[in-house]
Amino acid sequence: MLEEFHFLRPIWFAALVVLLPLSWYWFKRTRSASGWRSAISKELLAVLLDAQQPRSGRWLRGLMLTAIVVCIFGLAGPTWEKLPQNVQQKNDALIILLDLSLSMWAEDVKPSRIVRARQKVADILRQREEGLTALIAYAGDAHAVVPLTDDVATIENLLGALDPGMMPVLGSNPGHGLELAAELFSNANMNEGRVLIISDGIDRISSVTRHRNRAYPISIIGVGSYEGGAIPLEAPTESRRYLLSQEGNRIVALLDEQRLAEVASLSFGEYAKLSVGDDDIYRTLSTPLPTEDASIEVEREFDTWFDQGHWFALALLPLCLFAFRRGVLVLIACSFSLPATETMANTAATTPLADSSSPSSLWQKLWLRDDQRAYKALTEGEPERAAMLFEDPQWRAVARYRTGDWADALRGFNQDRSNVGTYNRANTLARLGEYQGAIGLYADVLEQEPDHEDAAFNKALVERLLEQQQQQSEEQQNESSNQQQQQQDSESQQSQSNDEQQQSDQQADEADSDPSEQQQNERDLEGENQDEERQELVNRDEKREALEQWLRRVPDEPGGLLRRKFQHETKQRLRNGEYENRQGEKVW
């Protein structure tokens, strides 16, 4: 206890620096019993005044000074132990529906509608400091890219791979995306949340309005221009092809803002046209929810130092017994009415944290503990600083994971034997390329929580990566074995011809053979063996380098995995009879 004893708010001891000179001045002014000492001689004053009065005054001053010192120690926040505290998160869920119909390839807004839409989604994700976020891509049908999660970095990592060309069903059907959004809200036990559609048009108003609900307002950000633009089908070239109508004319995709605004209004949401700034984000995400300020507890705890300053309040009670004089109790009561700094610290945890070298940061250090400052730095995208400030090993591991230091993060997650810790270890092993171990841990998580969607998604993703890695390794091994076999065949033929030549030379010159020639032949054989060993080492290094290059390339190209995922889900819906010709006559 003594080793961990410290004060949470030591800045309060600065009050002692002010208190000491004030006390000295006060004692000096009140040391005289009255102002009569300057007008009456000392002998006569001793007869006129009561000798007990100065003593009672000194006791009173001593009690007041002691009470103030005790209050200062209590406000400084003495502590020596940590207690777990449940972490609460703002009950704010957002599902983004991204339109991936062919019309999003139009280039009436530069560089294209789909690029600007992805940039806007990225801006929204960077502003999501609290709450859960999900991403759904839709065209003729809809697919969940990422379910509701607080890990917006994962969504942003997959965002760049989304493109209209990857959708298995053509068209534009936001209704199916809203059905999938309702399912995601239900799976996450969210009774309210916001839906944001980023699209360049809605053909049927009823496909959206039939899902209208005040608890789930639907807002829309329109992408495009009033003049519209043609829909290219390939990269810019001299003979670039465009989407044509049956008459052979280029199809021009227009942005009908009036229609989109009407749909958003009927669905209790807001409409805004895509802009360069954040005005469209603020407007569309400002729709009120029934319980706007509600919060929920997440499945993790945050160890905090337990403030023991309340014990000093008990120490003031005996002093109050000696303070039944007019005015003294009022002074002590004022000392208890000082603002609760712990409450101020908890409130300050939601405000932005400035740079540690700025005066505002130094001021915040007076009210925030290191763990609180670390958590703020983590939520604001500064994991390096958070890792330096966190004292809890699990939170430090989370910060290390965000910085990309997978090995250090794994050491921290290994200390957590809960299901959350197992999930974190699985993610870290996957980042380190240990796919077998990650799959086993994901299976353990799903055994404890069969409805853990993130674990199921990551497990399927890692299994595909492992399968690709094994296929790549087998192909490289087969190629290497073929090269080695061809090399061995050529070497054996060469060796056989050399042996035959040597035998003929030996038979012809057996009588007068030179020992120096035999030694030269032996040296030639040793040189050939050394060349074979060097070649084998070179081949082994080339294999290792090729495998490392492939592993580095796989995480940066999630488009192929998402494409196969969408195709697999569409086939599953066909087999289950859930698919009812979602692709209409209009394919764009």
Read off the DSSP letter of residue 306.
P
Report pLDDT digits (tens) over 110-159: 999 999 999 999 999 999 877 899 999 999 899 999 999 988 888 988 89
Q: For the full predicted model, state whether its pTM sits above 0.75.
A: no
- Same domain? For 104 and 56 the reply is no
Q: Domain with 189 in it: what CATH number?
A: 3.40.50.410
- Same domain? For 97 and 208 the reply is yes
Per-residue pLDDT at 511 exceeds 60: no
- Same domain? For 144 and 271 the reply is yes
User: What's the number of domains the chain is made of?
Assistant: 2
Which residue is listed with tokens 């810790």? 421
Report pLDDT digits (tens) over 444-459: 888 888 888 888 888 8
- Same domain? For 155 and 190 the reply is yes
Higher local confidence (pLDDT), 285 or 453: 285
Report pLDDT digits (tens) over 537-575: 666 666 666 656 655 554 445 677 888 888 888 888 888
Say if 533 falls within a structural domain: no
Flag the least confident range among 24-38, 264-278, 305-319, 393-407.
24-38
The sign of the dihedral angle between the CA atoms of 368, 371, 372, 377 is: positive
Say if 314 falls within a structural domain: yes
Return the exposure string of 429-454: e unless at least 16 CB atoms fall within 10 Å of the residue's CB, then b. Answer: bbbebbbebbbebbeebbeebeebbb
- Same domain? For 19 and 155 the reply is no
Residues 6+ positions from 293 with CB-CB distance below 8 Å: none
**How far is residue 344's CA from residue 340's CA, in Å, rounded to a whole number?**
7
**How far is residue 157's CA from residue 151's CA, in Å, rounded to a whole number?**
11
Strand, coil or helix: 426 = helix
Q: What is the DSSP string of 6-37?
A: EES-GGGGHHHHHHHHHHHHHHHHHSSSSGGG
- Same domain? For 107 and 58 the reply is no
- Same domain? For 254 and 145 the reply is yes
- Same domain? For 129 and 241 the reply is yes
Say if 113 falls within a structural domain: yes
- Mean pLDDT value across the chain: 76
- Same domain? For 239 and 161 the reply is yes
**How far is residue 586's CA from residue 583's CA, in Å, rounded to a whole number?**
8
Which residue is listed with tokens 């199921």? 456
- Same domain? For 285 and 319 the reply is no
- Same domain? For 108 and 74 the reply is no
- From 295, 327, 347, the end of a domain falls on 295
**How far is residue 519's CA from residue 208's CA, in Å, rounded to a whole number?**
90
Highest mean pLDDT among 63-67, 121-125, 237-241, 555-559: 121-125
Give bridge partners of residue 253 from the DSSP assignment.
229
Per-residue pLDDT at 34 exceeds 60: no
Cα–Cα distance list, 173 to 204, 315, 529 (Å):
9, 70, 68
- Same domain? For 287 and 213 the reply is yes
Say if 515 falls within a structural domain: no
Say if 513 falls within a structural domain: no
Domain extent for 54: 1-80+307-338
Q: What is the DSSP string of 28-72?
A: HHHSSSSGGGGTS-HHHHHHHS-THHHHHHHHHHHHHHHHHHHHH
Say if 165 falls within a structural domain: yes
- From 244, 270, 295, the end of a domain falls on 295
Residues 6+ positions from 153 with CB-CB distance below 8 Å: 402
- From 295, 324, 356, the end of a domain falls on 295
